[in-house]
Structure 1
Amino acid sequence: MGIKSYIAKHYAAFLVNRSKKAVLHPNEAQQKVFDELIEKARNTKFGRDHKFHLIADYQSFKNQVPLREYEGFKPYIDAMMNEEENVLWPGFPIYICKTSGTTSGAKYIPISKESISNHINSAKLALLYYINSTGKSDFVSGKMIFLQGSPLLDVKGKIKLGRLSGIVANHVPSYLQKNRLPSMETNCIEDWETKVDKIVEETKTEDLRLISGIPSWVQMYFERLLKSTEASDIKSIFPKFSLFVYGGVNFEPYRPVFQKLIGDIIPSVETYPASEGFIAFQDEQNSEGLLLVVNDGIFYEFIPTNEYGSEDPTRLNLSQVELNVNYAIVLNTNAGLWGYVIGDTVKFVSKEPYRIVVSGRIKHFTSAFGEHVIGEEVEKALKMGMQKQGGSIKEFHVAPQIKPTEGLPFHEWLIEFEEYPNDLNAFAKEIEHALQNQNPYYKDLVTGKVLRPLVISELHKEAFMKTMKSKGKLGGQNKIPRLANDRQFAQDLEKYKK
């Protein structure tokens, strides 16, 4: 065991034990966060507009602060972009995080000097929990690669503006700098394909032990690495590769492909970072779900998804949630977001401690006929199909086909296969069966002859990569939409059908 590995184990034990107080007393931790947030923001523009001086408890908070999606915050965000201070949080944000994807275009999310520590500390804790629970710390003695956005920030007056992963890249602790790859020069390359090729050249002879990134882009790196080196698998290039850290999407559809590319089963740590805050991370290898970060500047609320969008939806704090219910997650943060609906849906799988799984997106579903098929159901059905019929999938997208040229409407599954299943028709039937078992509304529509069973459309290789590239969304934090309630993304994939 190297000196770094030895120190890491003791450091992990110390910080994990220190964090356990909040884990064991989560509701008290959330109350403390709530009180601190309200007190600190009392005299901001938002605090005055919403009479924070009248807020004494959670009920009065709900009375004063309505739920908002991003568009509802735009007047406040615009004021900050015009360099007005004390708008959502005291002072001025140290960064504005630019992220994509609303009806009004790009989103601009403030990051304060208090909230940046939530992103850094929670990411660090995810690794320390892994070390503490497994006793494995050798990865700290080798190189670590982070596939992320450019750390170069735009500066407009007082505003430093960039992507979340690029912002966080500027806060890597000094003791990790020598271990970190790629180089700053390579990390600053904007074109993703050029960047990945340069990363391959920089890393292929290194002692790489940890890799972090969104699975689809890590897969692209692996494939180009194998092509460049003509190696049989990743493990033969990096024999001490021992940990994969990921977030942003469900890893299960990628798992068979990764095992084949790597040539081994590598331990992984799942994280749940968002531009608005670092929400949860995997604290144990053999437990379902991600540990909710309850004591670091975020006060959580939860709305039952079947009520979201209604005139007066139920708003629950952490102490009021139930297991196995889908909730829209709502954040109140020390960057000045209040009653903010980030768009994700989660489900609690444990309350001692509070652990969640990300079950989908509020607006990423297929429900053209009232069936409301969500990401969790689709991914489980896909996993069942692969277990029964083999095969592996590079990417997929599900969209409704409302007006087919003939026959009943159906759900179209546009799939780019890595390896074909034994029998494609049987594979489709397994997915259909699993989906009907999970979603009774969908089952009723099929058995009632409103819909016909799903249809799989095979796509040529690199269909998704080429489509994302055509949209200027290749690499970084950009994620491929797995479900849609329209055919906009499906239409872009049409040209790649076999």
Structure 2
Amino acid sequence: MGVRSILSKPIAAYVVAQQKKWMARSAEVQAEWRQKLVSQAAQTVFGRDHHFNDIRSYDDFKQAVPIRDYEDLKPYVNRVVEGEENILWAGKPLYFAKTSGTTSGTKYIPISKDSIHNHIDSARNALLNYVNETGKSKFLDNKLIFLSGSPEMTEKAGIKTGRLSGISTHHVPAYLQANRLPSYETNCIEDWETKLEKIIDETINQPMSLISGIPPWVQMYFDRIQARTGKKIKDVFPEFDLFVYGGVNFEPYRAKLFESIGKKVDSIEFFPASEGFFAYQDKQNNEGMLLLLDTGIFYEFIPAEEFFNENPTRLSIEQVELGKNYALVINNNAGLWGYSIGDTVKFVSLDPYRVIVSGRIKHYISAFGEHVIGEEVEKAMKYACERQPEVEIVEFTVAPMVTPNEGLPYHEWLIEFAVPPKNVEQFNNDLDQKMTQLNVYYDDLITGSILRKLVITPLQKNAFIDYMRSQGKLGGQNKVPRLSNDRKIADALKKV
């Protein structure tokens, strides 16, 4: 064993011991963070505007700080982008994480010298949890690849600006830099397909042990390697035994990914965003990810069905319940206040607090009042694939067909199969049966002859890749929404 793998074990034991301390007092830790954040931001423009000096309790906080999305917070963010200090948080941000929003155009998410630790330490601690639980640390001695965006930076008012994955590149610990691939120069290539070929050039003869990225883009990396070599990934990378992923539900990609690899490997799920690193998988055999309650974020939870109400219920961590969908709201030490990140979560454990990401608050289908969410369509797909295990899915999305040329309206499932079902009709029936079990409103609409049974539209090979290319969103951290309440994506997919 090398020095890295040997030293990682006592460090991992220490990190897990510290983690257990805050896990034992989660509610108190969150209350402490709420008051600490309010106190530290009391003299900022936002803090003065919202009377932070008068906040003593969570009820006070809810009265003072409204729920906002980026568009609502934008007047304050714009002042930070223009170079003003002490607006949302003390001083100026260390970085802006630049993202693209559907309604706000380019978004500039502040990352402060206080909040950067949440992003970097959380990723490190996820790996150390794995080392501590499994005793496996040899992967640290071999090569590691992180499929991410360009690390190149621009500046806004003297503040370094770039993609979150690129910002994180600059904070990879020195002891891992020598093992990290691809090279900085390759990571700076903007065109995804050109970059991917160069990544393969740099990695194909290396002892890769850890591969990390969003599953559909990792799958594309594997497909290109197999096209070059004619081999399974396990034969190209015999040392590969740990897959790290985040950003999307892994289940729809699992079968095809492991078929490409040719063996089962361990995996660790992350829940990162530009606004913060919220959770990671801390146990290999437990459902869900550990919600990180002691990293500079005070969390709030809104029952998903109330999110668009004028005065939705806001809950702190000790008030949540198992199995309910909540819109996730954060307040952090970069100056995001009452900020809805757009994701919904569901608690699968309350001791400790573990979550799954159940969908996006704005990604749903409710053309007829059914309010179908991402978690439901993914569960239905998993069920249908289990019934016909030969099926391999590349990608899929769902959209309503409100005005068909004939017959009743329906939900259209646009699916790119790597291996199609032997019995397409049965696959269709299985999807529809599971959807009626999961969503009572959908079931009522089917039973009441408002909707007819869902329709599968198989797509040609590379349909989703071609669509993402046409949108300028190929590779990196980009994702296709699992479902939409309109037909923009569906109609575009059928044209490529």
- What's the TM-score once normalised by structure 2's chain length? 0.99
**CA–CA distance in structure 2, aligned partners of residues 88 and 4 of structure 1:** 39
Residues 151 and 166 in structure 2, CA contact (< 8 A), matched pair in contact too: yes
Which range is displaced more, 9-18 or 391-400? 9-18
**CA–CA distance in structure 2, aligned partners of residues 132 and 72 of structure 1:** 42
The residue aligned with 2:311 is: 312
Q: Which amino acid aligns with 1:245?
A: V
SS at match of 2:450: coil
Q: Which amino acid aligns with 2:214?
A: I
The residue aligned with 1:17 is: 17
**CA–CA distance in structure 2, aligned partners of residues 461 and 17 of structure 1:** 48
Deviation for aligned residue 1:100: 1.4
The residue aligned with 1:413 is: 413
**CA–CA distance in structure 2, aligned partners of residues 73 and 84 of structure 1:** 15
**CA–CA distance in structure 2, aligned partners of residues 225 and 77 of structure 1:** 43
The residue aligned with 1:26 is: 26
1:166 equivalenced with 2:166 (yes/no): yes
1:289 equivalenced with 2:288 (yes/no): yes
**CA–CA distance in structure 2, aligned partners of residues 131 and 425 of structure 1:** 45
Deviation for aligned residue 1:224: 0.7
String of CA shifts for 1:396-425, please: whole Å, max 9, x gaps.
010000000000000000000011112111
Residues 301 and 316 in structure 2, CA contact (< 8 A), matched pair in contact too: yes
String of CA shifts for 1:331-358, please: whole Å, max 9, x gaps.
0000000000111000111110000010
1:216 equivalenced with 2:216 (yes/no): yes
| Equivalent runs, 1:175-254 vs 2, <5 Å | 175-231=175-231, 233-254=232-253
The residue aligned with 2:361 is: 362
Deviation for aligned residue 1:229: 2.1
SS at match of 1:264: coil
The residue aligned with 1:401 is: 401
Q: In percent, how many aligned pairs have the same letter?
A: 58
SS at match of 2:358: strand
SS at match of 2:306: coil
**CA–CA distance in structure 2, aligned partners of residues 156 and 321 of structure 1:** 39
The residue aligned with 1:443 is: 443
**CA–CA distance in structure 2, aligned partners of residues 100 and 251 of structure 1:** 23
Q: Which amino acid aligns with 1:208?
A: M
**CA–CA distance in structure 1, aligned partners of residues 306 and 495 of structure 2:** 38
SS at match of 1:306: helix
Q: Which amino acid aligns with 1:414?
A: L
The residue aligned with 2:98 is: 98
1:37 equivalenced with 2:37 (yes/no): yes
The residue aligned with 2:434 is: 434
The residue aligned with 1:2 is: 2
Q: Which amino acid aligns with 1:385?
A: A
String of CA shifts for 1:114-167, please: whole Å, max 9, x gaps.
000000000011100011111111100100000000000112331211111011
The residue aligned with 1:326 is: 325
Q: Which amino acid aligns with 1:316?
A: L
Deviation for aligned residue 1:243: 0.2
Q: Which amino acid aligns with 1:348?
A: F
Deviation for aligned residue 1:81: 0.8
**CA–CA distance in structure 1, aligned partners of residues 269 and 102 of structure 2:** 26
**CA–CA distance in structure 2, aligned partners of residues 78 and 3 of structure 1:** 47
Q: Which amino acid aligns with 2:437?
A: N
**CA–CA distance in structure 1, aligned partners of residues 94 and 114 of structure 2:** 9
**CA–CA distance in structure 2, aligned partners of residues 38 and 379 of structure 1:** 39
Q: Which amino acid aligns with 1:364?
A: H
The alignment yields a C-alpha RMSD, in angstroms, of: 0.8
The residue aligned with 1:280 is: 279
Q: Which amino acid aligns with 1:376?
A: E
Deviation for aligned residue 1:4: 2.2
String of CA shifts for 1:236-284, please: whole Å, max 9, x gaps.
0110101000000000000000111000011100000011000000000
**CA–CA distance in structure 2, aligned partners of residues 440 and 386 of structure 1:** 22
**CA–CA distance in structure 2, aligned partners of residues 345 and 129 of structure 1:** 25
The residue aligned with 1:383 is: 382
**CA–CA distance in structure 2, aligned partners of residues 343 and 426 of structure 1:** 35
SS at match of 2:481: coil
**CA–CA distance in structure 1, aligned partners of residues 324 and 486 of structure 2:** 26
- What's the TM-score once normalised by structure 1's chain length? 0.98
**CA–CA distance in structure 2, aligned partners of residues 64 and 102 of structure 1:** 28
**CA–CA distance in structure 1, aligned partners of residues 62 and 27 of structure 2:** 18
The residue aligned with 2:267 is: 268
The residue aligned with 2:344 is: 345
The residue aligned with 2:54 is: 54
| Equivalent runs, 1:26-175 vs 2, <5 Å | 26-175=26-175
**CA–CA distance in structure 1, aligned partners of residues 440 and 388 of structure 2:** 24
**CA–CA distance in structure 1, aligned partners of residues 125 and 104 of structure 2:** 35
In the TM superposition, structure 1's runs of 4+ consecutive aligned residues that sit over 4 Å from their partners are none
Runs (5+) with no aligned partner, structure 2:
none
Which range is displaced more, 474-483 or 155-164? 155-164
**CA–CA distance in structure 2, aligned partners of residues 358 and 439 of structure 1:** 18
Deviation for aligned residue 1:104: 2.1
Which range is displaced more, 11-20 or 404-413? 11-20
Residues 4 and 175 in structure 2, CA contact (< 8 A), matched pair in contact too: no
Residues 82 and 156 in structure 2, CA contact (< 8 A), matched pair in contact too: no
Q: Which amino acid aligns with 1:424?
A: V
**CA–CA distance in structure 2, aligned partners of residues 240 and 17 of structure 1:** 30
**CA–CA distance in structure 1, aligned partners of residues 98 and 491 of structure 2:** 27
**CA–CA distance in structure 1, aligned partners of residues 71 and 361 of structure 2:** 15
Residues 234 and 263 in structure 2, CA contact (< 8 A), matched pair in contact too: yes
Deviation for aligned residue 1:3: 3.0
**CA–CA distance in structure 2, aligned partners of residues 482 and 420 of structure 1:** 19
**CA–CA distance in structure 2, aligned partners of residues 53 and 305 of structure 1:** 31
Deviation for aligned residue 1:36: 1.0
SS at match of 1:405: coil
Q: Which amino acid aligns with 2:400?
A: P
Q: Which amino acid aligns with 1:174?
A: A
Count of aligned positions: 495
Which range is displaced more, 55-64 or 99-108? 99-108
Deviation for aligned residue 1:230: 2.5
